[in-house]
Structure 1
Amino acid sequence: MVASDLPVGDRIRHYRGERRQDVVAGLAGISPDYLSQIERGLKIPSLPILHAIAQELGVPTAALLADTPTPSRVPPDTTEPAIVQALMGYGPPRSAPAAAPTALRERVESAWRAWQSSQSRFTDMAGVLPSLIADAEHAARAHRSAEDTGRRRDVMRVTADLYFLLRSYLRRTGRVDLSMMAADRAVRAAEEADDPLRIAAAQWNLGHVLLAAQEPDGAEQVALRAVEELRQVPMSASDRVAMSGALQLVAVVAEARHRNWSAARERLRTQARPAARKVGEGNIMWTVFGPTNVDLHEVSIEMEAGEASEALHVADEVDTSGLPSMERSFTFNLEVARCHNLRREDAAVLLSLLELEDLAPEDLARTPLARELMLTVIRRGRAMHARQAEKLAERVGVF
């Protein structure tokens, strides 16, 4: 069984297996060079040729046809249905007793730790988020008009933190629309809690979902407005600096999306990096802001700018072993793989992909760029590398 969006050439290569390319081509009545070009995606075979190839491979012609268009960089929808149902309001009866804020806080923080560190984080979230969403929403309703203002604010703080997590989960599972909804609910919860730090974190989350929705202008405006608002509210200096630095990184990414590399580099150098040096490594409001995260953004800028050698030079100095977020480590190593791909270093691409499999197999299976890189090594790499890449693709469900 192969993925429904796998291109024709990759399907032929998969079903051909260990059979020699020249033998299959000869029996199908085409040249080995033509079959090679088909497998590499350079040629599209006519239906009679496709039928002849299918006969020689012993599979139905339909098995060589993709059911959906060529894969894009948009993640497939892998959101757990029970989570969607919970978001739509399927929860406990209104007459049921509401969960205490302290108990909710422990559950939300436990879910965040799993999301940032577990190799099976998508499976973990499918098990805990539906009931957590229902209970948090029920608690928010129960305390919305309560006379105990402090308790109500505690519930809304927890609710905001939960929707921060949902924003990240939903974006990673291909539901940018629901991710936008979660980000909006986080903003409302943070405002009801009247918590300046969470209001800023909600804007950071909103900025990220706007980036995912291909709206970098909106993301930059939201982030920089939040930076200005932070200057006006009382809070500890370290919290303000760290949260402002995280928001500056949203603006850095937005400028890079506009291909304004010089502005992105300048903002990273003059705004984000000094803030990171001042506060050190941390994870304020689950943003993983600190010097290492700033370095990872520098790698991203150079990679997006096409400066693969410079990006790899910067990456050589980065140590992600101390990061509290596996997701940031995964993204960093994926970008290193992409840099090697730009330099056509297939062995290095394959090594990076295998490391990513060890680090976060569920993320690897869900990431379109990783799928693209696997297929590129299969098409372009030496036979040994192509075979290893194909086995990796089979393990993560591409084939």
Structure 2
Amino acid sequence: MWQTSPTRFTSAEAVLPDLISDIEATVAAHRCGTGAAAERREVLRVAAACTGCCVRTAAEWDGSTCLLMVADRALRAAEDADDPLRIAAARWNLGHVLLSRPGQEAEAAEVALSAADELDRMLTTVDAIAVRGALELVAVVAEARTRRPWVARERLTGRVAPIAEQVGEGNTLRTVFGRTNTELHAVSVEMTDSDAVEGLRLADRADVSKLPSTERRFTFGVEVARCYDLRRDDAAVLVHLLELEEFAPEAVERSPLARLVTAFLVVRARPTQRRQAVGLAERLHLL
């Protein structure tokens, strides 16, 4: 639901409270019960996946202040399950939580890279290699946001791209790691560095049509719109924002970058574009 539904926010809001309660109750029952160790481990693995992936992501988009608690619970469940792959995925989630907190990019990179090194020593399966690549991408984002785009580019080409070629396309533990996601991160690095020309050149090479995550496709679309915004190409900005609104209306309303680009567009809009730009801003409650 979270990765594919265009109404994933309202859909998630309808099921998450009961899901969280069920997870907590089930974990508690197996902690105190006399059930088999294998069954308890499976319950903890499910708890780590649900809490870390779905609950964390939904809370992040809604601006929740409990993100660190959610990430910590997912990590503890993975550690209690003694599952190296899910421990690494939980640290991937924690890395994204830290990325959402301005000023903690260095901590995000440290968490992700230490988890990648540990996973590399413990597992050599294709899934483990894919999660390691996803962890490296957390460091790429952190490096780009701390104004070190050359380091981010070097990591993408020297470490992440070879991993992506090795594992191909995939969605191990909902990390969406693969060649396409690596290409999208290259666009993100250039956008963050305000190099709109290079960002758009790289975007033209990416095919997101088969990407399994609506959220990742949406983020790519917003970053392309931002590249056009940097070039003051308002017609292209408007086209991309309206397409995104049709594709994922709830995400547009909750995306800080989409709202920022829309605000810039309204200020600059030519008379022929102003009606649509103002209409979009009003639907996003910016006016």
Q: 1:81 — aligned with what?
A: none
Structure 1 unmatched ranges of 5 or more? 1-113
- Secondary structure of residue in 2 paired with 1:344: coil
**What is the aligned counterpart of 2:108 among 213, 219, 223?**
219
Q: 1:120 — aligned with what?
A: 7
Q: 1:73 — aligned with what?
A: none
Deviation at 1:231, TM superposition (A): 2.0
- Contact kept in structure 2, 1:146 and 1:152, CA below 8 Å: no
* Residue identity matched to 2:185: H
CA-to-partner distance for each residue in 1:188-231, whole Å, 9 max, x for gaps?
00001111100000010001101111201111111111111112
- Secondary structure of residue in 1 paired with 2:205: coil
- Secondary structure of residue in 1 paired with 2:66: helix
Q: 1:385 — aligned with what?
A: 273
Q: 1:318 — aligned with what?
A: 206
**What is the aligned counterpart of 1:182 among 56, 70, 78?**
70
Stretch moving more, 180-189 or 369-378: 369-378
**Map 1:172-321 → 2, pairs under 5 A:** 172-175=61-64, 177-214=65-102, 215-234=104-123, 237-321=125-209
Q: Distance in 1 between matches of 2:23 and 2:267?
A: 48
- Contact kept in structure 1, 2:229 and 2:237, CA below 8 Å: yes
Deviation at 1:390, TM superposition (A): 1.0
Taking only aligned residues, the RMSD between alpha carbons, in angstroms, comes to 1.1
> How does the TM-score come out when normalised to structure 1?
0.70
* Residue identity matched to 1:245: G
CA-to-partner distance for each residue in 1:348-390, whole Å, 9 max, x for gaps?
0000101100110001011222122222222211112111111
Q: Distance in 1 between matches of 2:68 and 2:125?
A: 30
Identity value in percent:
52
Q: Which runs of 4+ in 1 moved over 6 A?
A: none
Q: 2:28 — aligned with what?
A: 141
Q: 2:218 — aligned with what?
A: 330
Q: Distance in 2 between matches of 1:370 and 1:254?
A: 20
- Secondary structure of residue in 2 paired with 1:321: coil
CA-to-partner distance for each residue in 1:227-251, whole Å, 9 max, x for gaps?
11112224x5211210110000011
- Secondary structure of residue in 2 paired with 1:282: coil
Deviation at 1:394, TM superposition (A): 2.6
Stretch moving more, 278-287 or 143-152: 143-152
Q: Distance in 2 between matches of 1:135 and 1:144?
A: 14
- Contact kept in structure 2, 1:377 and 1:385, CA below 8 Å: no
- Contact kept in structure 2, 1:276 and 1:291, CA below 8 Å: yes
Q: 2:19 — aligned with what?
A: 132
Q: Distance in 2 between matches of 1:371 and 1:199?
A: 34
**What is the aligned counterpart of 1:153 among 29, 33, 41?**
41
Give the total of aligned pairs: 284
Instruction: Name the structure with the higher helix share.
Output: 2
- Contact kept in structure 2, 1:139 and 1:155, CA below 8 Å: yes
- Secondary structure of residue in 2 paired with 1:115: coil
- Structure with higher Rg: it is 1
Q: 1:362 — aligned with what?
A: 250
- Contact kept in structure 2, 1:281 and 1:292, CA below 8 Å: yes
**Map 1:36-55 → 2, pairs under 5 A:** none
- Contact kept in structure 1, 2:133 and 2:160, CA below 8 Å: yes
Q: Distance in 2 between matches of 1:325 and 1:137?
A: 27
Q: 2:59 — aligned with what?
A: 170
